[in-house]
Structure 1
Amino acid sequence: MLNITIEYLTFLLKSTNQHGVHSPFSYKLITKCLYKKTTSSLWGKFKEIKQQLLDNKETVKVTDFGSGSKIFKNDERQISKIAKVAGISNKKAKLLIRLVDYFQPKNALEIGTSLGLSTSAIKLGNPNCKIVTLEGCPETSNVAQNLFKKNNFKNIQVISGEFKNTVPQSVKNEQFDFIYFDGNHNKKSTLEYFNSCLETINNDAIWIFDDIYWNSEMKEAWKEIKAHPKVTVTIDIFHWGIVFFRKEQAKEHFKIRV
């Protein structure tokens, strides 16, 4: 906890707001999306969906193929507690809804479904978006599928299995204009997913990497992602790293306080 606090204080010292951004594309994104209020009706629906999970006292046996949990000490976990402490935060959920609403992607890939809260945020941002979401744990993916069914969400395909297998299979001969990376929080896996997904990009693709300051490995992975020749613009908002591949843009990296 102390390390992440130090990282955040360092980030604040190095970051800026829209006034330090001269790229028209990035300036518009920051002022019209990142700094905009979340539509109240969409946020109200998200809170309703989250409450459904917070009210669920059933337990699941979690299969974790990643870096493990910093909170839970065993694999038997109550759904309500997962939603409360390990699900997407309200701040991130608001941002995710706004970003999807702003860019209106048609095809999205999510690496790390968990209980389905972040998937729900994507679907709320654009109800017409077709989503493929990957989850390592069969029991939590079942909870997510039930959540989607209960809220009448269509065109969401949940694929369960280890990411080392499901990521390459999911991106084969596909094109995604939005990818949310919230899987294994280590350098090797993150870069493997990054490289596997590169074949799916188009000029308007937007990728979001969760928890880029989670540990030293994630910081190293983020550094390598920014340096990749196909990456043109990145926006570091501390909790996320946002990546663009717009060929008409000069290569620029921003640290933005949100």
Structure 2
Amino acid sequence: MFNSRTYQYYKFLLRSTNKHGVHSPFVYDLITKCFKWDCNRGRIYRTTEVQMLRSLASYFNVQTIATDGDLKRMPILIEKDYKWGDLDSISNETDFIIIFKPKNMRALVEEVLPSLKNDVCIALVDVYRKRKSIRAWKTHQKNEDITASIDFYKISLLFKRKEQQKQHFVIRL
């Protein structure tokens, strides 16, 4: 029997593109500057989810982070002086939201997102873990407040940016 997660990964690989297939300046800069392409070898260094989250927080110059995860899982992020909070403490000041548990996605996107400021980034970790979270991810992409969604397979990003047209990107690193 074919593993569902393996199937999802192959499906992701078939749909995905690299930095050369991206026509949005915002997303192109995010890929090339945030995840630091190794141009000499034509590939990026393999990264873990936590390294990707750290790069995103640094790239966007984040001050306030809200998460539903255990901070002990993120020692690389803790060493910086961010203001931390849980999902209940999200305010208009929150710059970056990290969601580890799929059950928290729906409530956050439906209830909290409309009140957040412009340029907020929501990182969903391991969306392809369960079918339920894949369906939730596809639903959130269609949300009217979300203008850009980027699927990196390990991490999926949702952006609320008023100056950008609604677009979805599937990118392999």
TM-score (norm 2): 0.86
**Aligned AA (1:101):** S
Quickly say closer, same or farther: Cα 1:111–1:5, change in 2 above 3 A. same
Name whichever of 195-204 and 21-30 sits farther off.
195-204
Q: TM-score, normalised by structure 1?
A: 0.59
Q: Calculate the aligned-residue CA RMSD, in Å.
A: 2.0
Greater gyration radius: 1
Equivalent residue, structure 1, for 2:119? 204
1:116 and 2:72 correspond: yes
RCO comparison, higher one (Cα < 8 Å, 6+): 2
Q: Is the 8 A contact 1:175 1:200 kept in 2?
A: no
Unaligned runs of 5+ in 1: 38-89, 134-166
CA distance in 2, matches of 1:122, 1:227: 30
Give the equivalent residue in structure 2 for 1:100. Answer: 57
Identity among equivalent pairs (%): 32
Q: Does 1:170 align with 2:89?
A: yes
How big is each residue's C-alpha offset from its partner over 1:190-239, in whole Å with a ceiling of 9 and x where there is no partner? 20132233155211211101121112111110011100001001110012
Question: Is the CA contact 2:149–2:169 (under 8 Å) kept in the aligned structure 1?
Answer: yes
Which residues of 2 match residues 12-161 of structure 1 at below 5 A? 12-36=13-37, 91-113=48-70, 116-118=72-74, 120-124=75-79, 127-133=80-86
CA distance in 1, matches of 2:128, 2:158: 15
Name the SS for the 2:124 alignment partner. strand
Does the 8 Å contact 2:92/2:117 carry over to 1? Answer: no
Aligned residues: 164
In the other structure, the counterpart of 1:150 is none
Mapped to 1, the partners of 2:58 and 2:111 lie a distance apart of 26
Q: How far apart, CA to CA, are the structure 2 residues paired with 1:179 and 1:209? A: 8
- Structure 2: stretches of 5+ with no match in the other structure: 39-46
CA shift in 2, pair 1:129/1:199, >3 Å: farther
Q: Which has the higher helix share?
A: 1
